[in-house]
Structure 1
Amino acid sequence: MKTQSNDIRRIRRSQYEIFIEEECQNETFVEITISPSNYSRKIILNWVTVFIINYLLQSKLLLKFDVLNEYRKWVRIGVFVLSVFLIKSPKVEQITVIKDYGIQLSHWNGYIIFPYKMNKHLTQMREFISRDKIVDVIINEGFYQWYQVIFYLCIITRNEKKLKIMFPGHIKMKLEDEKLIYQLCQRYLYLKKDKLKHDCLH
């Protein structure tokens, strides 16, 4: 919930945008959302694709099969509904760090026929990792497509062999943005007394 005590920042890059919302008064949470920089344009392109698919399929089907002329209206409705629900909105990823509780990982893309907020409400997938299961948040080094060295944000969890990637859809994020997100996670994940203990272990 956005209030006057919340600080909201926006970082624009060529491939993505970062929205950061911090609860400043008590520093209880920070919410970081990453979406494609051309989100609105992709929605428009998806709608154009829907209309092209409808035009081509309907015209070809109705012209080729005379038997379908009797059901012309229903064919058009069926093709439109099917294409609208098959072509998704661009994927949005979000993490919410709640002080002394843990990190919630979320993502959604939804359907182009619904507005942004409704898609988030209807199609959002969430995973909560409690603080007692989190060993640390780190910037890890890895290889992308076998030859390119990249850095990515991830969570080390107890009793898990694999790292939990925080923004899998934006694996090639700029390192300076990853450092900012890392600092925010460290700041909001631990209470002051736990932060001192955590820093001593590193």
Structure 2
Amino acid sequence: MKSQVSVIKDQRYSLSIEKDDRETFVKFTVIPSSYALKSVVNFLLLIVLNSIAMKTCHDKLELPFYKAVMLRLAIFVVTSMFLRKPTIESMTVIRNYGVEVTKENGLVVCPNSWIQPWIQRSDFLARDLIVDVIINEGFVKNQQVIFYLAILVREAKRLTLLFSVCAL
């Protein structure tokens, strides 16, 4: 089973469309244009913050070796959780079954493929639960009008927003 991939680029994001020969699925993936730049900036910021924290811990606190190592590790973990890669969103339409919506927000310290099960959030919406797919407009803070894509799900209290990377 071969798949065909096409890419559409915009100023703020790039859209990748992938489908197989038998057309059983179509996958739309949105990656922000600034993905690489923001990842590098967050990685450098992570290094700087951890360097400052380690220097401060070494100079100001006189801790035993194992406590100093544990404190440095804790600071590294906390800063790694806050300084993340931008979100990659995808929607896979599976013919006769439904739609899978996936968001991936990776860590800057390692490639996404290494930790994918932990950073990827997927929701599957069965075909019989989907009422409609809509393109709607909404207002944001600066009285701007934005257009967004959403799925109306039966008995859900909220819309399922697709590709929020593009909406804002």
TM-score over 0.5 for the pair = yes
Percent identity over the alignment?
Answer: 33
CA contact (8 A) 1:9 1:20 kept: yes
Residues 73-130 of structure 1 show CA distances to partners (whole Å, capped at 9, x for unaligned) of 5544443344334422211111100011111111011322221223333321111111
1:118 match: 114
TM-score with structure 2 length normalisation? 0.86
TM-score with structure 1 length normalisation? 0.73
Tell which has more relative contact order, 1 or 2 (C-alpha 8 A, sep 6+).
2
1:152 aligns with 2:135: no
Give 3-state SS (helix, strand or coil) of 1:68's partner.
coil
CA RMSD, aligned part only? 2.1
CA contact (8 A) 2:53 2:72 kept: no
- Give me the whole-angstrom Cα distance separating, in 2, the residues matched to 1:90 and 1:146: 23
Letter in 2 for 1:39: Y
2:94 match: 98
1:130 aligns with 2:126: yes
* Greater share of strand: 2
1:68 aligns with 2:26: no
Shift of residue 152 of structure 1? 0.7
2:33 match: 37
Residues 43-76 of structure 1 show CA distances to partners (whole Å, capped at 9, x for unaligned) of 21111111110121222232222x2375555544
Letter in 1 for 2:141: Q
- What 5-or-longer segments of structure 1 have no aligned partner? 173-202
Find runs of 4+ consecutive structure 1 residues off by over 6 angstroms. none
1:26 aligns with 2:22: yes
